[in-house]
Structure 1
Amino acid sequence: ENWVLTAAHCLIYSNFEVVAGLHSRNDESDVQVRQVTSKSQYIVHEGYGGGVGPNDIGLIHIPDGFDLNALSRDGVAPVNKVSLPSGKYESTGDGKLFGWGRDNSGYLPNVLQTLDANIIGYSECKAALPFLAPIKDVNICSYTAGTTDGACNGDSGGPLVRYTSDGVEQVGIVSWGYTPCATTKYPSIYTSVAAYKKWITENTSS
């Protein structure tokens, strides 16, 4: 209710809005908006060096928290709880990406997009990327060989989740990828939430 998990590279402004409950840009009936008016309201990982690279994670504090019970998902169903990775499940396999990024035609969508994603770990991802790609073991990726499916411009900071028998877990935060998205066949790169679970817990409990 009071914290938003995002990518560090998204946190470059002192003033911006955080929006919850938006499913369609043409229908804001369930939308809740909170203002961020100072950099003191967010935390960027102390190891983040800017640009593309590791430690691309940040937290936004929302003092006047969102009313999650009043929000709706897909315009109809109540919001599902999304948890940090429990460690009970593999961090790879079937997942789902949510975002407002550009589609393969290059346009920004009016409706929140979802994509079934094949989540792969660091070693497999590194092997599928160019040799000098700035990827570390705190990253995971999504990749379907031979396709252009993945995150794109505008998806940054968004969630990559897995559905488990205990509910929904966020396993990744959209970090970076190769462009143009419509033609690249490299993996999309995410910050692994599991790698920063301690950092998240420490900063949200203080």
Structure 2
Amino acid sequence: MFWITFIFLVVTSKVSCEPQSLRILYGRDAEEGEFSYVVALFSMNSNEDRILAPRQCTGSVIAKDWVLTAAHCLLFAKLENLYVLHTNFTVSPLISKQYAKAIKFFIHPGFSTYAFNNDIGLLQVDKLEMNSYGQLLAVDHLTMIGLPVTYVGAGSTRETKGGDDALRPLQVGEAGITTCPSEVVENYYRVRQKYIICLAATTDNIFQIPFYGDSGGPLLFEDRIVGVCSIGSGKSFLNGDSYAAVSPHLTWIYNVLHNKY
């Protein structure tokens, strides 16, 4: 049995429904080799050898040449400039050359920018083979209320961008799964959201939150992926931060990976 204590904090402001690239604040650095399947999505002009936008989103390599991320990370992506950074996050990809070119992406057909339902996307990349891959957990997310989870992100740890912060290791946060607040279930547009997982801060990690650059990153229970980072409240604590549940989308993911979509 898992015992976990939550502090539930109440705010009156609405949760933003605009696309956001989220990032973990006050998380810990991932250790070397930890979460080796987690990658960062970035934009680069390969002809000019110039990075256009570092660490736009996060993703998980779940099979050879396939990255699981959030649909909204791919919504306005320019395929010709889209790359995946892997393995070494403390050295510029222009130096390490540890990146792979995106060749195709898939947005879940049920994705809605109004409700952020089905915020699941898949990115096919050129020649990306890892020693280990992220494993998806086929468990109904509604049965996981109260369980402790870990979330991982690849973006910046502060609102300002650039400098050394663009070369930080992956960041890791801890939380617990909770019942979604009413303002998340029924958002600003009065559209009900489905298949989402909401988080509550633990007493030990009250200020940890996903932030800019963490969108698409994995939510893990016992090292298996149960969700993908979707919407953030933008507050200084977890309140309305939600992840797209993976289990309702396993059939779609399988079909895309096996060319049945």
Which residue of the other structure, out of 34, 48, 56, is the alignment partner of 2:119?
A: 56
* Distance of 1:34 and 1:49 partners within structure 2: 28
* Distance of 2:186 and 2:156 partners within structure 1: 27
**Structure 2: stretches of 5+ with no match in the other structure:** 1-63
Q: Structure 1 residues 170, 196: closer, same or farther in 2, change over 3 A?
A: same
1:73 is matched with which residue? none
Q: Structure 1 residues 172, 28: closer, same or farther in 2, change over 3 A?
A: farther
Which letter maps to 1:85? L
Q: Give a deviation string over 1:160-205, Cα, whole Å, max 9, x none.
A: 1111xxxx310010111112x4x35513111100111111111111
Q: Structure 1 residues 45, 152: closer, same or farther in 2, change over 3 A?
A: same
Which letter maps to 1:199? W
What is the CA distance between 1:141 and its match in structure 2?
1.5
> 1:114 aligned to 2:177?
no
> 1:154 aligned to 2:213?
yes
* Distance of 1:102 and 1:19 partners within structure 2: 14
Identical residues among aligned pairs (%):
25
Q: Structure 1 residues 36, 129: closer, same or farther in 2, change over 3 A?
A: closer
Q: Is the 8 A contact 2:88 2:96 kept in 1?
A: yes
Q: Give a deviation string over 1:16-68, Cα, whole Å, max 9, x none.
A: 1012213424699876311125xxx1111112233651111111112x33221
2:251 is matched with which residue? 198
* Distance of 2:176 and 2:160 partners within structure 1: 23
* Distance of 1:135 and 1:148 partners within structure 2: 28
* Distance of 2:71 and 2:245 partners within structure 1: 13
2:108 is matched with which residue? 45
Q: Structure 1 residues 114, 29: closer, same or farther in 2, change over 3 A?
A: farther
Q: Give a deviation string over 1:95-143, Cα, whole Å, max 9, x none.
A: 111102343x5356422100112123xxx11347486355523111211
**Structure 1: stretches of 5+ with no match in the other structure:** 70-78
2:232 is matched with which residue? 177
Q: Relative contact order, CA 8 A, sep 6+: which one is greater?
A: 2
For residue 161 of structure 1, give the secondary structure of its aligned residue in structure 2. strand
Which residue of the other structure, out of 214, 235, 239, is the alignment partner of 1:186?
A: 239
Report the TM-score, using the length of structure 2 for normalisation. 0.60
1:19 is matched with which residue? 85
Which residue of the other structure, out of 119, 122, 130, is the alignment partner of 1:68?
A: 130
For residue 83 of structure 1, give the secondary structure of its aligned residue in structure 2. coil
For residue 181 of structure 2, give the secondary structure of its aligned residue in structure 1. helix
Provide the alpha-carbon RMSD of the alignment: 3.0
Aligned residues: 182
* Distance of 1:106 and 1:185 partners within structure 2: 17
* Distance of 2:238 and 2:172 partners within structure 1: 19
Which residue of the other structure, out of 200, 203, 208, is the alignment partner of 1:143?
A: 200
> 1:98 aligned to 2:152?
yes
> 1:35 aligned to 2:101?
yes
* Distance of 2:71 and 2:129 partners within structure 1: 25
